[in-house]
Amino acid sequence: MARTLTGTVTTAVGAAVTLPGYLVAIDFATPVYLSSRGDLTWNSKSWVAWAVRIIGLAIDGAASAQDGTLILGNTDYTMGALVLAEGVAGRAVSVWKLYGETPALADPVLVFSGVADGATINPDGGDVTITLQQAGGVTLYCPRTYINRASGFSHIPADGTLIQWNGETFRLTAEK
């Protein structure tokens, strides 16, 4: 698929030295939008200046899997507190690469879309390291098939039925 480059990207690519920037979206209870290029607005979202480093984000040709490491600044302990309070395992993470300081809508390129796998917090407040894993069959949201008559299930327990399983109680509720 051909892509037309904007003036900002064309200028950056033509420079002797080009340093990419990154936009990172993490799906916490309140989504977090971080930018290595300073505070900016892109795609109708406000991205906050943050120390962002990306390591090893590459495609593994043997398994067609993509993984890497996201390192976020934590000098004021804000990111560490958020990770401890909400956790990161299974949270959706997207990373875009961009050039220039004020990206047009078409400038950033999505280089990763997957989930966080785990995190390590530097206790001295230096950084939070989050491992990333490509979304795939293991990480897709469930259920992939809804259990209902339209999907071919003819015997469905009544709404409100309680099921005891492994020491837990589950209440079946109809999708509204």
The answer to the question of residue 1 being in a domain is no
In a domain, 176, yes or no: no
Total domain count, the chain: 1
45, part of any domain: yes
Burial track 130-168 (b if 16+ CB lie within 10 A, e otherwise): bbbbbbeeeeeeeeeeeeeeeeeeeeeeeeeeeeeeeee
Q: Does 82 map to a domain?
A: yes
In a domain, 163, yes or no: yes
Range of the domain at 57: 7-171
Q: Is 149 contained in some domain?
A: yes
Question: Token match 């990161």: residue?
Answer: 88
Reported as a single tens digit per residue, the pLDDT across 59-96 is 555 555 678 899 999 988 999 999 999 999 989 999 99
In a domain, 125, yes or no: yes
User: Does residue 77 belong to any structural domain of this protein?
Assistant: yes
What's this model's pTM, rounded to 2 decimal places? Answer: 0.69
